[in-house]
Structure 1
Amino acid sequence: MTSSEITGTAQHAAWQARELPPVEEVRPGLWSIPVPIPHNPLRYVSVHAFALEGGGLGLVDCGWEHEAGWTALTDGLTGIGAGIADVRGVLITHLHFDHLGLAGRVREASGAWIAMHPADGDVVRQMSGRDGAAAVATQVGFLVGLGADRETAVSDVGDPARWESFHRMATPDRDLLDGDVADFPGWSLRAVHTPGHTAGHLCFDEERTGVFLSGDHVLPRISPNISTNPGGEADPLRDYLAALAAVGQRPEPAEVLPAHEWRFTGLTARTDALRAHHEGRLAELLTAVREHPGSTPWDLAGHLTWSRPWSSYERGMRVFAVTETDAHLRLLASRGAVVGTAGPVPRFTAA
């Protein structure tokens, strides 16, 4: 098994310098265009632009909807001798705002179609036009159900106005299922369904060049957030680990093009490392349950190791940490390692 190695050296150098990386032609007719994400440690999403046979461009992901992001995307396209009007189609790896946010604006400016997996497309349709206050109430109720006190949950979820933009994202024109080949003439871009980060997450295997666009499913440095959500999948971490194992069994691609951080090789080695990371996390959580029996997911999150002191976590960071802890608890429960009490707020003990 080969190890995982950095190939996106300019991307990596820019990351270390805390700068936006350059636009790069990573294969003839295939470019990566960094689009910044405001106030986010991920910093940017790599939009991948494909020159299509017969003219025009296809995009994989679009970036976060804000003016700096739009400027970065349009300037990036100008730098490769194209423009927004040249976009014919947009493939979305998953529904998160840093991937789907600008898609509606791209479609409005170009007439391009938007395609994504129906498991995510249906969620976007359900969210479309939803009132921000209703979304906040749902999120607050979900966190209270994980053990938060209501006042803290309200503070962490934030103002309803903050949620409005998430409910104005573009709904897809086309569904894309596992194994489908995208309508990008001149390329053989096959969809690979990899649920976990979201229920409809897609990677794309470009069979002509051997590159693998991994979205957020496999990143070179960090593990993507795997969380529970109101009305979401019952056991998202089980789904994610199964998808990781399946991707790790595929023939090694020539290069992996993730949506964040930098390009790399050694997909199998990286999927093995991510699976090992989660098994270690599950073991740590099981120890916490044994040491603090009868604890809620909210309580147990505070007994785990994080990248910074737990006391400094608040708002979105704390929400992601708690819902990620809940995802790990659900997998432990499905494995029979822990038992949760019935009732509005589960409390866990070791089996």
Structure 2
Amino acid sequence: MAIPPKPWPTGQVEQCEPLVARVLAPNPSPYTYTGTQTYIVGAEEDVAVIDPGPAEPDHVAALVDALAGRKVAAIMCTHTHRDHSPAAVPLAERTGAPVVGCAPLVLNDAGPRADAPFDRTYAPDRVLEDGEAMQGTGWTLRAVHTPGHTSNHLCFALEESGALFTGDHVMGWSTSVVVPPDGDMGDYMKSLGRLGERDDRIYYPAHGPAVEKPKQLVRGMMGHRRQRENQILRLLNEDARPVPAFIGTMYKGLDERLIPAAEMSVTAHLIDLEKRGLVERTGEIWQTV
């Protein structure tokens, strides 16, 4: 999906439905679309803030304005990439709210990154296990464990309206980047399958528009990943090769800025295929078994 032309509603409060509003952060990029969308859940005296976003002073100020003096029962993070969780610290300082949600995760990764690095400031007051919930006046947010994009990724289901906040697991504009060593393609596919079995009415992703036909999108995303896997196996049946040699054939016309993401995605598929005994590697060269 192409990025829409400016102006974007950065810093503005958009009411998505009675219990859900969103505020767009000022961090657009080839990996974040128009920016990270922070969601405010609740309509009365207490609310939850989902994915507070980057610790940009203008974004934190916009969130405080959007709260309009309401109590924040919880600041909830789907995962700890730096475009999602860093604003939890300044927002908690401003509101006194606890930070709740995914487990902390820090990776020392010296290699090339195709996604924002992990947030080392994230220190939750409470980690939600799969199925645990946070509640406020008129709202219940239940954690759905969806590892794959990251090992600590959670979605949050708003039980009163049938909405699911999908973070980066399912986005409204692009497939999710799965970056080893923490990102795991096998887990990602299992998590997509889990969402496909649910009956959520709508998805609110951290990037891109709301998804109004969730099951259809999930089926398409799973089919896309299987197609990529089949491409990789077909190319390896022609000739053994290193990861960069897949990109020109598999991603024709790709923006050069996205080449690292494509290479990480191929690597994630190859590691999954290796675990399943279908491919093997010698140094940087991959081949079929």
The answer, yes or no, to whether TM exceeds 0.5 is yes
For the Cα contact (< 8 Å) 1:36–1:72, is it kept in 2?
A: no
Distance 1:306 1:178 in 2: 39
Matched to 2:185, the amino acid is L
Residues 1:275 and 2:265 aligned together: no
Distance 2:119 2:203 in 1: 31
**Structure 1 residue corresponding to 2:250, chosen from 298, 301, 304:** 304
Distance 1:45 1:167 in 2: 15
1:90 corresponds in structure 2 to 75
Distance 1:205 1:56 in 2: 18
Distance 2:132 2:253 in 1: 38
2:110 corresponds in structure 1 to 139
Residues 1:350 and 2:288 aligned together: yes
Q: Which moved more, 1:34-43 or 1:176-185?
A: 34-43
Residues 1:239 and 2:187 aligned together: yes
Matched to 1:237, the amino acid is M
**Per-residue CA distance 1:133-153 (angstroms, 9 max, x = gap):** xx5xx413xx6xxxxxxxxxx
Matched to 1:43, the amino acid is T
**Structure 2 residue corresponding to 1:228, chosen from 157, 166, 180:** 180
Provide the aligned C-alpha RMSD in A.
2.7
CA shift for structure 1 position 301: 3.9
Matched to 1:64, the amino acid is P
Distance 1:86 1:248 in 2: 34
2:162 corresponds in structure 1 to 210
1:99 corresponds in structure 2 to 84
Residues 1:19 and 2:10 aligned together: no
TM-score by length of 2: 0.87
For the Cα contact (< 8 Å) 2:18–2:43, is it kept in 1?
A: no
1:340 corresponds in structure 2 to 281
For the Cα contact (< 8 Å) 1:286–1:350, is it kept in 2?
A: yes
Distance 2:195 2:43 in 1: 27
**Per-residue CA distance 1:47-87 (angstroms, 9 max, x = gap):** 1112366x232101111122343344344x16xxx15x843
User: Kindly, what percent of the aligned residue pairs are identical?
Assistant: 27
Change in 2 beyond 3 A, CA 1:56/1:208: closer
Corresponding residue SS for 2:235: helix
1:47 corresponds in structure 2 to 38
Higher strand share: 2
Distance 1:110 1:67 in 2: 15
CA shift for structure 1 position 297: 2.7
For the Cα contact (< 8 Å) 1:44–1:260, is it kept in 2?
A: yes
Higher helix share: 1
**Per-residue CA distance 1:86-144 (angstroms, 9 max, x = gap):** 433111011111110211111111111111222xx1x14xx6xxxxxxx5xx413xx6x
Corresponding residue SS for 1:98: coil
**Per-residue CA distance 1:234-254 (angstroms, 9 max, x = gap):** xx1110111101110112x23
CA shift for structure 1 position 15: 5.1
2:27 corresponds in structure 1 to 37
1:115 corresponds in structure 2 to 100
Change in 2 beyond 3 A, CA 1:68/1:318: farther
Which ranges in structure 1 are unaligned for 5 or more consecutive residues? 1-11, 128-134, 144-155
For the Cα contact (< 8 Å) 1:340–1:349, is it kept in 2?
A: yes
For the Cα contact (< 8 Å) 2:82–2:119, is it kept in 1?
A: no
Distance 1:16 1:38 in 2: 11
Answer with 1 or 2: which has the greater Rg: 1
1:61 corresponds in structure 2 to 51
Which ranges in structure 2 are unaligned for 5 or more consecutive residues? none
CA shift for structure 1 position 32: 1.4
Q: Which moved more, 1:186-195 or 1:284-293?
A: 284-293
**Per-residue CA distance 1:294-333 (angstroms, 9 max, x = gap):** x233443454315526xx34xxx44332222110101222
Change in 2 beyond 3 A, CA 1:47/1:306: farther
1:320 corresponds in structure 2 to 261
Matched to 1:199, the amino acid is S
How many residues get paired? 285
Distance 2:125 2:186 in 1: 30
1:200 corresponds in structure 2 to 152
User: What stretches of structure 1 move > 6 A for 4+ residues in a row?
Assistant: none
Higher relative contact order (CA 8 A, sep 6+): 1
1:249 corresponds in structure 2 to 197
Change in 2 beyond 3 A, CA 1:350/1:168: closer
